[in-house]
Structure 1
Amino acid sequence: MKSLFSILFALSLIINQASGKDIYVSPKGNDKNPGTLEKPFASIKKAQLIARNTSGKVVIYLRGGTYYLSETVVFTPEDSRKKNAGLTIKPYANEKVIVSGGTRLNLKWESYKGKIMKARVNGDQMFDQLFINQRQQRMARYPNYNPSVRFFAGSSADALSPERIASWKNPTGGFIHALHKAEWGGYQYQITGKDTEGKLKMEGGYQNNRQMGMHDKYRFVENIFEELDTIGEWFYNKDEKLLYYYPEKSVTNLAAAKVEIPRLKHLFEFKGSEKNPVRNINIEGLELTHTLRTFMQTKEPLLRSDWTIYRGGAVLMEGAESCQVNACYFNHVGGNAVFLSNYNRNNKISGCHIAYAGASGVCFVGDPKAVRSPSFEYGQFVPVNDIDTARGPKTNNYPANCTVENTLMYGLGQIEKQVAGVQISMSMSITATHNTIYDVPRAGINISEGTWGGHEISFNDVFNTVLESGDHGAFNSWGRDRYWNPDVPAMNKIAKDHPALITADVIKTITMHDNRFHCEHGWDIDLDDGSSNYHIYNNVCLNGGLKLREGFYRTVENNVILNNSFHPHVWFENSGDIFRHNIVTRNYYPIGIKFWGKEIDYNFFADQASLEKSQKEGTDKHSAFGNPEFINPSIGDYRVKSTSKALAVGFKSFATDKFGVTSPALRKIAKKAPIPVLKGIEGVSQSQSIEWFGLQIKNLETLGERSATGMPEEIGILVLKVDAGSPFEGVVKANDVILSFKKKTTNKVAELVAEQQKNKSDKTVEITIFRNQSTQNITLDKPLK
């Protein structure tokens, strides 16, 4: 019977394959053709309609070239396929295929003023972005675009000054971009005109869920004609239908230049439902580009986070099962690259390249109606007696068991700043693995709340994050679930009286392991406000340390935290938190800690002073200190040698070369994470002391030296000894730190020696030292001999 079954199964596969079909499309084709290789169709839509009526496995092959879509390609349940008879849209024979949500313009240019050119545009076009010879140009803006400037590549407090506004004849249609006042993401406004007093009228400012208003300094304006004043800028006068452009130097022949503008928000949509899903459709190997910016549609608040969201992207999945986006290149899309909204199951984003998106990379966001007793703003709280106490979601209308893997993402948040490489909200069991994410304005990976947990965050390489914001992390999460209250005494009472409520939303443990994180202006791992039910292990933190704030049931073990430490902030009573078997290279930084959780012990510190400080706080009774003996930290190998004392407290080495994308093609183009120079590790080879005019001095380099002197960081020149007869005898003392010579900062011995040589003929000597927690200026009225 088993043999007969196998034969019948094989025959069924052959029959399915035989009834399948290859369909061909070409920009040079014709929809009246039969869709063969020799006579292809012209449109993806025509091929889609033919595929609907074709059983078996179907591949739509796109010949090389650019496909300008006049409307979004929408897959509905009519397009659904059986498991072994899927539909794939892919390039033919590795030809380069670009799917554009834009259109190409044929323009006749003429001089306007100076080097500015102008051209008349036919038809009603949406001038949201402009691409010349495939390079994105800039709307006329103030201040001008400068990529070396941290915020918005150019921002200024006077962007909205009365004088500047008065210089704009008709700013209607212009945009204001500003950071949140606390640097938590950003705001955007559209200018709708001026009032009778000459003040701007505007709408917008809903792009952040914690309203505090725009930043006073970090803001800029764009799409205003009077600000067209530098190369690469453009302005479109929609009333006159005239495009003005100040050509880049690379555009040597504007008449022959390729001019493109976007007109669609989405390129592909999967539109089904839980009862009637879209199944087994794959998009593979395409370049996706020219989608509209969507920042003025970013309105929907998420649960008590800083986020509002726009449910859309270049690819939108809603009501999809077992669908995939493989090896696609998202090139300067205007909003999100991929968005999985509401019901989605077993979908996968794999091997993709997402560069310079206007918003986020890949978003998983469920339906708020699936949440029990939801609250939407930070200060909102459903009274305990009114809370629905049932565990888990109310419906299935959310993403679950979906994956983003082996995907390279960088330069995200070109327009919006409350973004992430991977954003997860109201979802369950999402896997984010082997992704490389860098050069982003806020988080690399963000989990907006606990609903409903079960996520696996593993083998990701996330660095150069929080570049245009603050108070955040390379990995960031909030846990402001229905149990959470920002008032600590109230929260302690809720936890005591209703302990089951703590995990009623985060019903499955969130696991983070074998990642490498680096944050510029915050924490490498930031579990904020109530983030609960996490297991965090085998991660490397390169710069910002690890923070746990106001949550429960977090186990953090076997992590390596470099040039930083553990930041416990405001823990609740009986939190159940565990921090053990970790290597830290600084003392802890507790804030508002009255309760120390379940276990803070068996950790390994880089120096004795840090260990002793923790033990005075009542933690780390069995912890140890010393040189962890990393195998090769200069190349990022943080495994420890067999002789390391860290092994004795339970630390176990783990591979530190498996982070990020696995595809050779993606690895070749990915930027490398910054490997830090280690500081403050006891026993690591330090600079040798030297004799300098009767002083024994060396660079201050270890955390122990910092602790002994009271210095806030490991810089300056440590005085080890003052010899008899030294010109500094009776003036400088052992354990002083020399900070400057002749008012020139000297962080290293070599700098001190060089400054003295430059000024050796001076009759007086001026130095600044650090002693007893303060700086002192010392003057010797005699030259150094």
Structure 2
Amino acid sequence: MKITRSYFFCLVPALTLSATLCAQDIVIQASSNPLAGKTNSLQQAWLLARESRQSSPGKKITIVLHPGTYYLDSTLVLTPADNNTTWRSDGNGLVTISGGKKVLVKWTPWKNGIYKASLDVSFAFDQLYINDVQQVRARYPNYDSSASHYNGTAADAISSERVKTWQHPVGGYIHALHRAEWGGYHYRITGVNADGTLQLEGGYQNNRQMGMHDKYRFVENIFEELDAPREWYYNKDTKTLYYKPAAGVNLQTATVVVSRLPQLIVLKGNAAHPVSNVSFEGIRFAHSAPTFMDTREPLLRSDWAIYRGGAVLLDGTRDCSIRDCEFDHNGGNAVFVSNYNRHANISACHIHDAGGSGICFVGNPDAVRSPLFEYNQSPVFANTDTARGPKSPNYPDSCVAYNNLIYRTGRIEKQTAGVEISMAMEITVSHNTIYDLPRAGINVSEGTWGGHLITFNDVFNTVLETGDHGAFNSWGRDRWWYPDRHEMDSMATAYPWMVQQDAIKTNVLCNNRFRCDHGWDIDLDDGSSNYRIYNNVCLNGGLKLREGFHRIVENNIILNNSFHPHVWFENSHDVFRHNIVSSSYKPIGIKYWGDEIDYNLFPDKAAITTPTDAHSLAGDPLFMAPAAGDYRVKAGSPALQVGFENFPMDQFGVVSPSLKALAKKALLPVLHQEATNISSLITWRGAKVKNIETLGERSATGLPDNKGAYFVAVPAGFPYGLQTGDVLLQVGEKRVNNVTEMIKAFVFYGDKKVKLIVFRNQQRKNL
């Protein structure tokens, strides 16, 4: 027997709600059929669900949303009282849950093609949508879709000459890259000094403080810069919205939406009382507000700071899922899985044009033993908690990101990723297609606590606006890691077991395809440890292992590049075997060669330059169809003789037909043997010195740019206090940008005692 009860509420858009009680579950229908003169919000569907649950405890509830846009008046917060609930589209049209507010305005011409309208809202907004298309806040330089950084930057964006042309810049924003291009910064203008310089607040969005870049910067929300089509400006004092429409836009019929809420849906529980079995299916989430000024929480000793939230936030959940949803033009992160979560599943989602990251799995520092939060902080061993693994359950564990199409994230914030993992365990990232990003496609911020499976992903067109990074990037600045290399050498020798006290489980990268044209395809940086990397195709940027322990790299194909070992430890136990490389290795600062570096295939014998590859071979790998992206090798390939085994080439990326049809294709390389670089290496007073010429040298030394004289090898008793690995930046008052300038500076000063400035252990140091 079926009992039906109907409930009528006023909704925006006007909704008809009805609850049907069945033996199995309760279905709540939310219809967009208009009810004249009635208004409301989506929260009332939630209230009806709660009422139904009270009368029928233990039943599963399904809230069916019919086509339409549902504008939230406030963030919808679900608690354990909402367990066993599914929110889904009825499948008959687009369902949008919006964090914006639809406003009715009357446009009148102002001047220079600009229109204005009175708009009185009680909240600040940073994004404007006309006919559901995001517009451009008035900025300098003007928006340029083809520009490499921030869609347009200028060194004079905040020059005193330009500032003088602004009458009321307070409330404007500066967006700039980090000085070393390790992410970005954001500042709010709070005033103007007498000399025309700006008073600012902000700059905390990056965890490696070095100040903003002198070139890659732009300013927005300045009235005087409103001069291009699609630009807008809101004067909050006069309650006036100014907008310059593009050709063909009819403002009289256009819908106008402004951003309002930074978070649309929050699932809020904890380890003792999680939100469980709540799912969202077939829903579009849009118009959430930017969060760049709230991105201030540091992620241990990675380069990251975060805003712990997103359009959808899972915080304290179990067995919750987001399936077949679209995240479209949200101002911050799309999905954030925070603190305690078990078996969260984000799958078959279309995530694009987000201001922050796509999907984040981030635990709480209270689960970390002896956490440190800034790169230059050093652990004190006597005070360190040396127990193994996490100390609380407040982290994501056994969660999944599967079959998601993620692109054009990081539109505002630049220290972001398609998928970010930090303070988490056993996260599976599989069959995702990720591209067009300012930094990494997939990033693992530190070794706590590993066990991640990164498999069958297609990641390309990455590190487009930053530097010294990879399509896949990781750090390993865990409890054993010290910013001073000499101290780290001694501690790693004395306490080698500490390496796996945080990195307790092996991370596996297998059967992925990576391409990075501005860094490495796979970049294991700063102590990343306990990895197994196999069956991957690296299309362009090569594979790098810096510092770290217990990395097994085998059966990978590295096209148009090679293996980049940087500053390894003695007894690292690293392994590199059965791989196909396209040129000689690119070692930097290597004294020790791990457990086994052998049985690899090189393009020719001249490329085999290390003493370790005694059993490696050279020759044409005989790829089956490289122009079509099939890099399996034919029978008779010398790769097979060194133990290489073929693996599938047609399973990378998303599997849903609808997402496959939308996804871009990775650019396949034209294969070539890498030409030998003409090096600037010279011998000067017995030391080997050269210019900084490669991304690898810049990364190994930690430099923010290519300036300086790099001391590759320094003999015992060398004068001036210089050491192997130093980069000389200044002699007396003379800047040193290269080896030639170094020699000229020493000639200029002769035998005089002068101050030297070097870059050592990624810090400037006076000698």
TM-score normalised by the shorter chain: which range applies?
Answer: 0.7 to 0.9
Q: Is the 8 A contact 2:580 2:639 kept in 1?
A: yes
1:264 matches 2:261: yes
1:360 matches 2:357: yes
Shift of 1:650: 0.3
Matched residues, percent identical? 58
> Counterpart amino acid of 1:331?
D
1:45 matches 2:46: yes
1:467 matches 2:468: no
Distance 1:643 1:378 in 2: 49
2:387 aligned counterpart, secondary structure = coil
2:490 aligned counterpart, secondary structure = helix
Q: Is the 8 A contact 2:457 2:513 kept in 1?
A: yes
Distance 1:564 1:196 in 2: 53
1:523 matches 2:523: no
1:105 matches 2:103: yes
1:411 matches 2:404: no
Q: Is the 8 A contact 1:313 1:338 kept in 2?
A: yes
Query: For residue 24 of structure 1, what is the aligned residue in structure 2?
Result: 29
* 1:98-177 correspondence to structure 2 within 5 Å: 98-177=96-175
Of 59, 62, 86, 2:65 maps to 62
Distance 2:526 2:354 in 1: 29
Query: For residue 669 of structure 2, what is the aligned residue in structure 1?
Result: 676
Distance 1:31 1:388 in 2: 65
Distance 1:353 1:31 in 2: 35
Distance 2:257 2:202 in 1: 28
| Distance 1:41-1:301 versus aligned 2 partners, 3 A rule | closer
Q: Is the 8 A contact 2:178 2:211 kept in 1?
A: yes
Q: Is the 8 A contact 1:31 1:43 kept in 2?
A: no
1:575 aligned counterpart, secondary structure = coil
Query: For residue 630 of structure 1, what is the aligned residue in structure 2?
Result: 623
1:160 aligned counterpart, secondary structure = coil
| Distance 1:371-1:32 versus aligned 2 partners, 3 A rule | farther
Shift of 1:22: 1.1
Shift of 1:32: 13
Query: For residue 720 of structure 2, what is the aligned residue in structure 1?
Result: none
Q: Is the 8 A contact 2:91 2:282 kept in 1?
A: no
Shift of 1:31: 13
Alignment gaps of 5+ in structure 2:
1-20, 680-767
* 1:409-448 correspondence to structure 2 within 5 Å: 409-448=406-445
1:453 matches 2:456: no
1:529 aligned counterpart, secondary structure = coil
Give CA deviations for 1:470-495 in whole Å, capped at 9, x if unaligned: 00000000000000112223222212
Query: For residue 306 of structure 1, what is the aligned residue in structure 2?
Result: 303
Query: For residue 735 of structure 1, what is the aligned residue in structure 2?
Result: none
Query: For residue 562 of structure 1, what is the aligned residue in structure 2?
Result: 559
* 1:73-112 correspondence to structure 2 within 5 Å: 73-81=76-84, 87-112=85-110
Shift of 1:126: 2.3
Give CA deviations for 1:721-762 in whole Å, capped at 9, x if unaligned: xxxxxxxxxxxxxxxxxxxxxxxxxxxxxxxxxxxxxxxxxx
Q: Is the 8 A contact 1:24 1:47 kept in 2?
A: no
Of 486-495 and 318-327, deviating more is 486-495
1:538 matches 2:535: yes
> Counterpart amino acid of 1:447?
V
Distance 1:391 1:92 in 2: 48
Distance 1:484 1:108 in 2: 60
Distance 1:626 1:299 in 2: 51
1:358 aligned counterpart, secondary structure = coil
> Counterpart amino acid of 1:648?
Q
Distance 2:22 2:346 in 1: 26
> Counterpart amino acid of 2:90?
Y
1:315 matches 2:337: no
Query: For residue 605 of structure 1, what is the aligned residue in structure 2?
Result: 602
Of 549, 554, 570, 1:552 maps to 549
Q: Is the 8 A contact 1:31 1:42 kept in 2?
A: no
Q: Is the 8 A contact 2:160 2:195 kept in 1?
A: no
Q: Is the 8 A contact 1:491 1:572 kept in 2?
A: no
> Counterpart amino acid of 2:525?
D
Give CA deviations for 1:204-238 in whole Å, capped at 9, x if unaligned: 00000000000000000000000000000000000
Distance 1:497 1:108 in 2: 73
1:588 aligned counterpart, secondary structure = coil
Distance 2:524 2:267 in 1: 33
Q: Is the 8 A contact 1:25 1:43 kept in 2?
A: no
Of 580, 588, 591, 1:591 maps to 588
Q: Is the 8 A contact 2:555 2:578 kept in 1?
A: yes
> Counterpart amino acid of 2:53?
R
Shift of 1:17: 6.7
Query: For residue 278 of structure 1, what is the aligned residue in structure 2?
Result: 275
Shift of 1:50: 3.6
1:664 matches 2:657: yes
1:49 aligned counterpart, secondary structure = helix
Shift of 1:200: 1.4
* 1:379-418 correspondence to structure 2 within 5 Å: 379-418=376-415
Distance 1:19 1:355 in 2: 37
| Distance 1:204-1:625 versus aligned 2 partners, 3 A rule | same
Shift of 1:193: 1.9
Distance 1:246 1:128 in 2: 16
Give CA deviations for 1:260-302 in whole Å, capped at 9, x if unaligned: 0111111111000000100001000001101000000000011
Query: For residue 683 of structure 2, what is the aligned residue in structure 1?
Result: none
| Distance 1:538-1:162 versus aligned 2 partners, 3 A rule | same
Distance 1:41 1:245 in 2: 30
Distance 1:477 1:240 in 2: 48
Q: Size of the alignment, in residue pairs?
A: 656
Shift of 1:334: 0.6
Distance 1:499 1:145 in 2: 52
Shift of 1:184: 0.3
Q: Is the 8 A contact 2:159 2:197 kept in 1?
A: no
Distance 2:31 2:112 in 1: 42
Of 190-199 and 361-370, deviating more is 190-199
Shift of 1:28: 3.7
> Counterpart amino acid of 1:64?
P
Shift of 1:500: 1.2
> Counterpart amino acid of 2:379?
V
Query: For residue 241 of structure 1, what is the aligned residue in structure 2?
Result: 239
Of 647, 652, 671, 1:654 maps to 647
| Distance 1:354-1:497 versus aligned 2 partners, 3 A rule | same
> Counterpart amino acid of 2:100?
G
* 1:213-232 correspondence to structure 2 within 5 Å: 213-232=211-230
Distance 2:478 2:339 in 1: 19
TM-score (norm 1): 0.82
TM-score (norm 2): 0.84
Of 340, 344, 352, 1:343 maps to 340
Of 168, 186, 189, 1:188 maps to 186
Q: Is the 8 A contact 2:568 2:593 kept in 1?
A: yes
Give CA deviations for 1:556-600 in whole Å, capped at 9, x if unaligned: 000000000000000011000000000000110000001101100
Shift of 1:518: 0.6
Q: Is the 8 A contact 2:28 2:45 kept in 1?
A: no
What is the aligned-residue RMSD (CA, Å)?
Answer: 1.8
> Counterpart amino acid of 2:587?
P
> Counterpart amino acid of 1:379?
N
> Counterpart amino acid of 1:52?
R
> Counterpart amino acid of 1:435?
N
Distance 1:331 1:41 in 2: 19
> Counterpart amino acid of 1:433?
S
Of 201, 204, 209, 2:202 maps to 204
Q: Is the 8 A contact 1:400 1:428 kept in 2?
A: yes
Distance 1:32 1:399 in 2: 46
Q: Is the 8 A contact 1:302 1:376 kept in 2?
A: yes
Distance 1:190 1:93 in 2: 43
